[in-house]
Amino acid sequence: MEKSPFEDKPAGKVYLIGGGPGDPELLTLKAARLLATADAVVYDNLVSAAVLAHSRDNAERIYVGKKAGNHALPQLDINKLLVTLALQGKQVVRLKGGDPYIFGRGGEEAETLHHAGIAFEVVPGVSSASGAAAYAGIPLTHREHAQSCFFVTGHLKDETCNLDWPTLARPGQTLVIYMGLTSLPDISRELIAHGMDPATPAACIRRATLPDQKTLTGSIADLPEKVAAAGFKPPALLIIGSVVSLHARLDWFTQDPAA
């Protein structure tokens, strides 16, 4: 059998890194250091250009981003790519928006690396939820508004949005929905049908933490119509709950300081 050219080369290492929600200043020191020394950077659609700029000029950059209905590379192929690059002896950064273990498929990639015997580390990042909420002036928890917080995805593996609606519709909590913009009309209808007050405040945040961030607020009943009228497109994050009512007072990021 023909010998692989990489058979005698020590395997490299893969770093599953959270690139944060977009603002490059939210990148962790460890993430910036590893980016600056990586041989190869495998990055997602949600990684901002300013974050990617922290990688070295001669690094191999491989785009594997996913958009609705358009995947540059299927997830199984991404998993194989990480193994292949490491077997070539490269130090590999798998760069994701937000945090790799919060709806970032980092767990699937880590399992693949483990089974292949590839060394890896996970570098957490500021999640899209915490970044979007902070920059929109919406605290995810607040003693007077929410005593718990749920992170859910509005886009399941089987393409449905079949969630635990009775639990999610309860009062006294904050609901953060990733990848829920396309399903927003269904989400609104199901939450109200399962007991959520139609007047519950809700927000849609697009391009969170970036200079062109847009935050649209309303109620869970009328937010779908407002989002459609505004022409919002993915990616965007939904936040639902009483805490959204604080946005008008706590929006430090987009408010006119002279106002």
Instruction: Return the pLDDT at 251.
Output: 96
Give the pairing of strands 214-219 and 91-96: unpaired
The reply to whether 226 belongs to the active site is: no
pLDDT digits (tens, 9 = 90+) for 30-69: 999 999 999 999 999 999 999 999 999 999 999 998 765 5
Could you tell me the domains of the chain? Answer: 13-126 (3.40.1010.10), 129-250 (3.30.950.10)
The reply to whether 44 belongs to the active site is: yes
Instruction: Return the pLDDT at 2.
Output: 45
Q: Considering 13, 44, 90, 99, which one is annotated as catalytic?
A: 44
Residue 46 in tokens: 């949600």
Task: Identify whether the C-beta of residue 90 lies closer than 8 Å to the C-beta of residue 40.
Answer: yes
pLDDT digits (tens, 9 = 90+) for 76-103: 999 999 999 999 999 999 999 999 999 9
Task: Identify whether the C-beta of residue 126 lies closer than 8 Å to the C-beta of residue 132.
Answer: no
Q: For the chain, how far is it from start to end, CA to CA, in angstroms?
A: 74
pLDDT digits (tens, 9 = 90+) for 175-232: 999 999 999 999 999 999 999 999 999 999 999 999 999 999 999 999 999 999 999 9
Q: Considering 66, 80, 214, 226, which one is annotated as catalytic?
A: 66
Residue 255's closest CA among 141, 135, 142?
Answer: 135
